[in-house]
Structure formats: C-alpha cells, structure tokens
Chains A and B, each alone.
Chain A
Amino acid sequence: ILNVEQSPQSLHVQEGDSTNFTCSFPSSNFYALHWYRWETAKSPEALFVMTLNGDEKKKGRISATLNTKEGYSYLYIKGSQPEDSATYLCAFPRNAGNMLTFGGGTRLMVKP
C-alpha cells in the first residue's frame, strides 16, 4: 500500500503572505512526483511533474522542490493572491504507468 501524505490539511493566509506545503511519499521505487492545483468547480490542473532528486521547478510565483532519498517534496507560493485559493494535490505513480496515488490535499484559502 502506497502512502502519500500531505500537510497541512488546510491553510488560511493573508494576501501577500508566502506559504509552503509538504508532500511525503515512499522513497523506494521512485518514478515521479506530480503536483496538481484544483480550484472549486474546475478540473485538477497539473503544476509540475518532477523526476530527479534535487529537482526544482518554477511556474510564476509557485515553485517546488524534490528530495527522493528522504521521500518529500515542498510546494512554495510566494506572495499569495486570492486566485491561488485552491486545493493542492500531490500524486505518486504506482510504477512506470500513470496510476497515481494521491495525497489528501492541502486546501489553501487566501484572504484579500
């Protein structure tokens, strides 16, 4: 059984705050780590797919790091905006196929 854990479960921040969340995953048989953003009433949207230990990816104000040896990834949002309010999900492919095991998500709410 694969365990993918995310923390915190929810987070309330003020506009302009920077924030970060954690995803932990099995460190053995690593293939890739996915991050998705899921806004209410929309479909989950891929942010990053990370494959290499030490990898760091950036998309606008959002960035992510990966440590495959210890089994964790951090997602950072710099200067949070109300439009960043969403649930952020990480997912771990079971094997080379894209059968993803998702964490429970971190629900971010950014107050103007």
Chain B
Amino acid sequence: DAGVTQSPTHLIKTRGQQVTLRCSPISGHKSVSWYQQVLGQGPQFIFQYYEKEERGRGNFPDRFSARQFPNYSSELNVNALLLGDSALYLCASSGSGFGDTAEYFGEGSWLTVV
C-alpha cells in the first residue's frame, strides 16, 4: 500500500510569491495534518483537516491556508512568502484523527524562499 505522498519534494520561491503544497493520505485515512519543521526544532503543527472540515489550527499567520478535497487529499497554501517560511513541510494522515492514534508522515516538501 502507498504511504503518504507529498509533492513537490523540493522547490525554490522568491519572497512575496505564493506556493501550493500537495498531500495524498494513506488510502482510507480521513484526517490530514500539516507541520512545519525548521532545522534544529521539532515539527510545528499548522492545520488538521478531517472529513474536509478544519479541526484545528496552529499559531501561524493568515498567510497560511489549507483545504481538504472529497478524496481526502489536501493542499497547503502559503501567500506572500517570507524568508522565514523556508522549512520542511510535512503532511501526516491518520484514520480517526484522534490523539490516541499514530500519525503517518510523508517525506515532506522542502521549501526555500530566496
């Protein structure tokens, strides 16, 4: 079975541009979460979606938005990119989306903002 897949794997953007990152969860998983990881720190929670509804949002500015599609895949959008948005963006899926179930992570999308 395919794991969580993310695209693109690497991308370079210029300050002020917009970026869209994509995630396909494990088949049958209805919850998708997004995390940002900068070097030297643990991943930081950005969004969780379950059954196409936003279930939670982390402490990120409104430049960050996401959505989940009927097939449970998800997109993360970041507008007006800043240098500080350079990071690894991880997507994770789980069946129930509750805290007592493990998250399954993709390999991430590396975003560099120049």
**Would you list 13 pairs from A and B whose C-beta atoms are within 8 A, ordered by A residue?**
A6-B42, A43-B90, A45-B105, A46-B102, A49-B101, A93-B98, A97-B99, A98-B101, A99-B58, A99-B99, A100-B33, A100-B45, A104-B42
User: B1 at the A/B interface (Cβ < 8 Å)?
Assistant: no
Consensus secondary structure, chain B interface: loop
**Which chain A residues numbered 29 to 51 have a C-beta less than 8 Å away from chain B?**
31-32, 34, 36, 41-46, 49, 51
User: B84 at the A/B interface (Cβ < 8 Å)?
Assistant: no
Q: State how many residues of chain A have any CB contact under 8 Å with chain B.
A: 29
- Most B C-beta atoms less than 10 A away, residue of A100, A101, A103: A100
Q: Which residues of B contact A (CB under 8 A)?
A: 3-4, 31, 33, 35, 40-45, 48, 50, 55-56, 58, 90, 94, 96-108
How distant is the Cα of A31 from the Cα of B98 in the complex, in angstroms? 10
